[in-house]
Amino acid sequence: MIANKKRKVNIPIFVSHQGCPNDCIFCNQKKITGVCEKEREDVIRKKIESFLFHTAPDCNIEISFFGGSFTGIPLEEQNMYLRVANEFFYDSRVTGIRLSTRPDYISGEILENLKKYNVTTIELGVQSMENKVLKMNKRGLEAEAVYTAVKLIREYGFSLGLQMMTGMYGSSPQTDIETAEKIIGMKPDCVRIYPTVVIEETELFDLYKNGEYKPQNIEEAVSLCAVLLKMFEENNIPVIRLGLMAGEDINENKVFGPYHSSFRELTESHIIYTEIAEFLSKNPHNGKVLEVFSNKKFVSKIVGNKRSNIEKIMKEFCLSDIKITENNQIEKYNFKII
């Protein structure tokens, strides 16, 4: 798995649902971000200053505009946000400015303006590279728009992030894997993966209530995302987010489908379970003690959520015990089995 040498920190500024030309059927940005009104310039500045005051100085800190389609916001308003961010960029208190937007809201003129304000990273909400899925979810664009936007972003020298969703209305594990393959082919600098959850006050919620949409359960989503995570890591593409962030309106009790506050931990633990299970299938240990050596920072992923990996492996392979020995000579994201 990929490890970052220097911790990256985002200062999130949510431009909730601004710039979006339509409502995708899964989207309720007010609930996702917890933001209902536009933030004033002075409030944004104070938020950034407060975040910097409480953040360790040895981090790479970026100001990140999330929650809407930034480049769809009226230009004067975009520039207001970017002027504030530049105050902190010019005096080196932050190392970058990041924003997210739609693929069809990218043009040479737009990118020229972002370059002028020292934007460093642009993330595109790809969601799916399957046109049928995009249409069923009312994305208002086709996959070709992603390729066009990516080409332009690269030409202008921005760092590129791509965001995808799994388990969308009309998708399947196979179409999600194919989307990941196409994203890998575009060689982004980072990726975010969001399993689809059902949020109230959305069209997807109506489809869910009517029985027309069945979200993945947590096991299905974890199993699929484990495959995707390995695909990206094997191609040296960091997955910087896996699963929605928790918030006032986003938690296990308020959404339907594969939401978990520790979704990434579950996914990484599932990868470890799979690797240990493959080892035991080739090297039977019936009735024996399995000894696993691991870096201290990786032990929790081997054990699994509520000891799920340990219990499952012991039962499936008839082991008397699994002993985990800490060995910090082993790389952080690795382990060895005796």
pLDDT in tens, the chain (338 residues): 444 456 788 899 988 656 576 679 998 755 554 444 567 889 999 999 999 988 877 788 999 998 789 999 999 999 999 999 999 999 889 999 999 999 999 999 999 999 999 999 999 999 999 999 999 999 999 999 999 999 999 999 999 999 999 999 999 999 999 999 999 999 999 999 999 999 998 999 999 999 999 999 999 999 999 999 999 999 999 999 999 887 656 777 788 999 998 999 999 999 999 999 998 899 887 778 888 998 888 888 889 888 989 999 999 998 988 899 988 888 766 788 87
Q: Give the CA count within 13 Å in the CB-facing half-sphere of 133.
A: 23
The span from the CA of 160 to the CA of 158, in Å, is 6
pTM: 0.89
Q: How big is the chain by its Cα radius of gyration, in Å?
A: 21
Structural domains of the chain ordered from first start: 8-261 (3.20.20.70), 269-337 (3.40.1260.20)
> CA dihedral in degrees (305, 309, 312, 315; nearest 10)?
-130
| Phi, psi for 191 (deg, rounded to 5) | -140, 150
Do β-strands 190-195 and 239-242 pair in parallel, antiparallel, or remain unpaired? parallel
Structure tokens at 19: 């710039």
